[in-house]
């Protein structure tokens, strides 16, 4: 669950950043991304509730997975 939490945290940040730009440009795209955010937030919250946040292994895993997820997003946007 720590892995899911890490991925969803980065994805949510990215999606929320996208909505900041879409709000004034494309209302349909904004609505679509907003719906995706709702779904991703549920995954994030479920994962957060189901792992030991005090675990050193989980903390390390979250850092590594977050960094990798950010890299994949940045690479995919090129």
Each residue's pLDDT tens digit, 61-73: 999 999 999 999 9
Global pTM reads 0.88
Question: What is residue 59's three-state secondary structure?
Answer: helix
pLDDT digits (tens, 9 = 90+) for 4-21: 999 999 999 999 999 998
> Cα 20 to the chain's mean position, in Å?
15
- Is residue 24's pLDDT more than 90? no
pLDDT digits (tens, 9 = 90+) for 39-58: 999 999 999 999 999 999 99
| Contact (Cβ atoms closer than 8 angstroms) between residue 66 and residue 10 | yes
- Model pLDDT, residue 23: 85
DSSP single-letter state for residue 23? T
């Amino acid at each position: 669950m720590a892995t899911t939490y890490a991925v969803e945290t980065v994805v949510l940040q990215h999606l929320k950043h996208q909505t900041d730009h879409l709000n004034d440009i494309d209302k349909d795209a904004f609505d679509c991304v907003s719906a995706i955010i709702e779904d991703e937030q549920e995954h994030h919250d479920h994962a957060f509730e189901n792992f030991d946040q005090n675990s050193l292994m989980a903390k390390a895993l979250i850092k590594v997975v977050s960094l990798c997820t950010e890299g994949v997003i940045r690479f995919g946007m090129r």
